[in-house]
Amino acid sequence: MNVKLRVWRQAGPDTPGKFVEYEATGLNPNMSFLEMLDEVNEDITKRGEEPISFDHDCREGICGMCSCVINGEAHGPEYKVATCQTYMRSFQDGETITVEPFRAKAFPLIKDLIVNRSAFDRVIQAGGFISTSAGSAPDGNAIPVPKQDADAAMDAAACIGCGACVAACKNASAMLFVSAKVSHLNLLPQGKPEKDKRVLAMVQQMDAEGFGACTVTGSCEAVCPKGISLNFIAKMNRDYFGALLRAPSKAKAAHAD
């Protein structure tokens, strides 16, 4: 199959970018979108031009490195997959495909289709961890965890931090990512002691990074390759509310110590 690509090319953060058209010919419909880009890059390289820069790593949908907004949809037209698991058979023969980087002020562009998603790392550093002494693994049932909580925590922990939620949101909001990361720890007994501190700090960092607020459009949930639910955002709203109410008495108790 053949497709025409309109790819965003930008040499660096401070240089102006533009769309450049490429012909991708003789494609196997079962190629992934990234393999198609590899083929196009081969041709570009042979012509002595600069190949298209794009992020990728595991190419099996678990690392969260690949990005791209394809025809206006983060990770392309397929449901619950990343760009690496989007196949050319999802497109029409002869179609013009527009490929853009994730657009958000908090994700500054590095080159072509690559954006800097370190803002997510800084949100995690603000509270997405458990302060406990590392030692040998505890006995399997030493800490009781209800099955439902374990399942919900696992669903939240499935977030691969790709940033598609931010890319798809009309407000470039990171609520789905942050709520998944807050919830997977807040739901478990190991995460409970720092529950309030965690949600306050991570939300504060999220706001400081310049992400927008949540309008509950549901676009994030729809494009998420791991199907993270909007209900985690509701849970984070709930956790934050509780943390706000409890903060003064905790601060007072800490002061008394």
Partner 1 sequence: MSPLLRLAKSSLGKKYLMAFTGFGLFGFVVMHMLGNLQVFLGPDAINKYAHFLKSTPELLWGARLGLLAMVTVHFCVGIALAIENMQARDQEYAVKRAVKATLASRTMVVSGLIVLSFIIYHLAHYTLLTIHPEYRNLHDDLGRHDVYRMIVLGFSSPSVVSFYVISVGLLCFHLSHGIGAMFQSLGLKNEAYVERIDCLAKIVAVGLFIGYISIPLAVQIGMVK
Q: Please give the residue ranges that form the binding site for partner 1 (CB under 8 A).
A: 6, 8, 19, 69, 71-74, 98, 100, 103-106, 168, 170-173, 200, 203-204, 206-207, 210-219, 221-223, 229-231, 233-241, 244-245, 247-248
Closest distance of CB 57 from partner 1, Å: 24
- Residue by residue, DSSP assigns 115-174 as E--HHHHHHHHHH-S------SPPPTTSS---HHHHHHHHHHHT-----HHHHHSTT-B-
Indicate the residue type of 189: P
Q: Is 102 helix (H, G, I), strand (E, B) or coil?
A: coil
- Closer CB to partner 1, 27 or 152, in the complex: 152
Closest distance of CB 215 from partner 1, Å: 6
How far apart CA 109 and CA 121 sit, in angstroms, is 16
- Closer CB to partner 1, 11 or 213, in the complex: 213
Closest distance of CB 112 from partner 1, Å: 14
- Closer CB to partner 1, 92 or 132, in the complex: 92
Closest distance of CB 50 from partner 1, Å: 21
Indicate the residue type of 142: A
% helix / strand / coil in the chain, to the nearest 5? 40, 15, 45
Q: Which two tokens stand for residue 101?
A: 């980087």
How far apart CA 122 and CA 207 sit, in angstroms, is 11
Closest distance of CB 138 from partner 1, Å: 29
- Closer CB to partner 1, 43 or 240, in the complex: 240
- Closer CB to partner 1, 40 or 233, in the complex: 233
The residue whose two tokens read 């700090």 is 201
How far apart CA 167 and CA 162 sit, in angstroms, is 10
Closest distance of CB 165 from partner 1, Å: 11
- Closer CB to partner 1, 84 or 175, in the complex: 175
Burial 82-115 (b: 16+ CB within 10 A, else e): bbbbbbbeebeeeeebebbbbebebbebbbbbbb
